[in-house]
């Protein structure tokens, strides 16, 4: 769900892949998907209408935080 206005949310189609390029490799259509959550973002030239969230980058930044 994504917040679109105060108190209003919309469901967003999200695809989970190990590598972002697997989205295309698996034959998923480029339309309809809003977010790809992946471990490694390695898909150069992906559709700019798709947001890619690379988890590896976030985990690396957390590793530097003192706990």
> DSSP readout, the chain?
-EEEETTEEE---EEEEEETTHHHHTT--SSS--EEEEEE---TT--TTSEEEEHHHHHHHHHTS--
Find, among 10, 59, 13, the residue nearest to 36 by Cα. Answer: 13
Q: Which two tokens stand for residue 29?
A: 């259509």
**What residue ranges do the domains of the chain occupy?**
12-61
Inter-residue contact 37 to 14 (CB < 8 Å): yes
List pLDDT tens digits, range 20-36: 999 999 999 888 889 99
List pLDDT tens digits, range 36-54: 999 999 998 887 889 999 9
Confidence at residue 67, expressed as pLDDT on a 0 to 100 scale: 47
Residue 62's pLDDT band (cuts 50, 70, 90):
confident
């Amino acid at each position: 769900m994504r917040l679109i206005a105060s108190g209003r949310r919309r469901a967003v189609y999200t695809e989970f892949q190990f590598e972002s390029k697997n989205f295309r490799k698996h034959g998923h259509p480029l339309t309809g998907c809003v977010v790809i959550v992946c471990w490694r973002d390695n898909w150069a030239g992906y559709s700019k209408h798709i947001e890619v969230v690379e988890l590896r980058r976030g985990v690396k930044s957390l590793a530097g935080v003192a706990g």
